Structure 1
Amino acid sequence: MLQLSVVSLQQEELLLAGSPDNSGKKLWRPSWKGVIMTLLVGSNIILIRIIESLVYKGRSLENEISLLRMNITQSSADQLRRMMEIRKQLCLNTGEKPDGCTLCPDGWLRHRENCYYFSSVREYRTWDESREVCEEMGAHLLVIEDREQQEFINRSINQQTDIKFWMGLYRDGDGWRWVDGGHYDTSLLQISEEYSGDCVWWEADSGFDKDDCQYKHNCICQKRALKI
């Protein structure tokens, strides 16, 4: 048994060192340590190449982002400059300060922060129809807010005599209310109780009065002016 063990050990040493072939030359057999070292070196080389590629792509992407930001910044600056020029021209035409102003659409009158539209002679509508038309234009029927505004509207109406204009005051239950939800202030206007009706109109010669909401008159629309 001892002799067999010695022989086995000698054979293993021969395999590790290389065994001779039939011609008497030793055959080379790589050891497991060499194979592992070769694999490790190859893996490191591949990993280095991958990292280099990712770094290069990252730098390229960063450069593209920087260029895109520069273009956006330049474009925004050009647009802002153009907008400032347009605002300057528009505000100079209104006689207000060149650093900003309030504007109204064509055909509307501006007073302080509001715009007003007086429908033409042939635009006869019921009170509900007039309310809908104003809302379609982003406005509401006229709401009297203070005495100065009331005087402005009165001056504008005096230029269109004998025309009745629906305004935004209507009967809500037992009281009167404006279309914007505000309560009726008797100090600004007085509604006559001589005639029946649930909707109020304004006429240059007759002042304020109520009428059947189904009657057709002109109307006055009101909305906030555009600030630029």
Structure 2
Amino acid sequence: MTNLKNKLYSDFNALTLNFTSCKNKSLEFDIQVQNLTQQQNNLMAENSQVNKKNHDLQTEMKTLTEEIKICKEQKLSQALQIIDEYCPKVEQVRNCRSCQNGWIHSQSSCYVVHNPESWNQKTWEEARENCTRKSSDLTVVGSEKEKVKTDKSWKDEEGNMKGFWIGLRAEGGKWKWMDGSDLTNQTWIKQQATDGRCVTSLQNREWKSVRCTEKNGWICEKKALSV
């Protein structure tokens, strides 16, 4: 009987140990399952982010492709327009010239004179912006010969114009041109350079210093092409 009890006790202890071992392994398995589940969730979240980023990149690439296409079409259209302006067709033959249609060729430059009605005249800044859109700038006078040409050419046929803006304005107490150079011949304008003042030109009248916010006509200038 004692041996039987001992055997039963021994078997019970063995079962207890096995149960404890199984329980511990079950806990370890549960932890591993939880870890694997968490890793799976993390991977799914990362995959979702990657998919979203990939979708965003594809959308951005599509947008950029469209913008590049539009830009190329605009550049081509502008190039063709410039070709037509500088080299118009006459009986299917292109006749190229130094300046675009409507521009005046003088020495190495092209000029266009804007003499609008009073309601469409512009401030100095507005006039310069208009020139910029034509790939030009307000005219810069570099020599006495050019000044004489400018003073004689830009006139108001109807006597309505107060003056034409040129590319000269006061900066830091000096008269400066649009190319950044100083006015070297001070006899061209006798008035002092006061900030906020710009210069106009008109036939039979000295250059005049007026407020840059006044409205006037304007003269644009750009380099002539070599043809």
Q: TM-score, normalised by structure 2?
A: 0.52
CA pair 137-199 structure 1, distance change in 2 beyond 3 A: same
The aligned residue for residue 144 of structure 1 is 141
Q: Mind listing any 5+ residue stretches in structure 2 that lack a counterpart?
A: 1-86
Distance 1:225 1:214, change over 3 A: same
Shift of 1:176: 1.3
Give the aligned partner of residue 113 of structure 1.
108
Give the Cα–Cα distance (whole angstroms) in 2 for the partners of residues 226 and 201 of structure 1: 27
Q: Could you tell me which amino acid in structure 1 is paired with residue 99 of structure 2?
A: C
SS in 1 for 2:191: coil
- Displacement, 1:226? 1.7
Show the counterpart of 2:207.
208
Counterpart in the other structure of 2:175:
176
Counting aligned pairs with the same residue, the percent is 25
Contact 2:198/2:209 (CA < 8 Å) preserved in 1? yes
Residue 162 (structure 1) shift = 4.9
Deviation at 1:227, TM superposition (A): 1.8
| 8 Å Cα contact 1:162/1:204 also seen in 2 | no
- 1:124 is aligned with what amino acid? Q
SS at match of 2:95: helix
Residue 193 of structure 1: CA displacement?
4.2
Query: Structure 1 126/138 Cα, relative in aligned 2: closer, same or farther at 3 Å?
Result: same
The CA distance in 1 between the partners of 2:160 and 2:151, in whole Å, is: 13
User: Which residue is 1:134 aligned to?
Assistant: 131
Shift of 1:106: 1.4
Equivalent AA in structure 2 for residue 200 of structure 1: V
Q: What's the offset of the Cα at 1:197?
A: 5.1
Aligned length: 134
Name the larger-Rg structure: 1
Q: Which amino acid aligns with 1:110?
A: H
Q: Does 1:189 align with 2:188?
A: yes
- Alignment map for 1:29-68 (pairs within 5 Å): none
Calculate the TM-score normalised by the size of structure 1. 0.52
Letter of the 2:111 counterpart? Y
Q: What is the aligned partner in structure 2 of residue 14 from structure 1?
A: none
Report the equivalent of 2:223.
Answer: 224
> Equivalent residue for 2:99?
104
Alignment gaps of 5+ in structure 1: 1-82, 92-101
The alignment partner of 1:226 has SS state of coil
Q: Which runs of 4+ in 1 moved over 6 A?
A: none
Name the CA distance, whole Å, in 1 between partners of 2:107 and 2:160. Answer: 27
Distance 1:135 1:201 in 2: 18
Aligned residue type for 1:141: L
The aligned residue for residue 95 of structure 2 is 90
Deviation at 1:154, TM superposition (A): 1.8
Cα distance in 2 between the residues matched to 1:216 and 1:190: 20
Q: Deviations over 1:64-103 (max 9, x none)?
A: xxxxxxxxxxxxxxxxxxx9x98x9636xxxxxxxxxx51
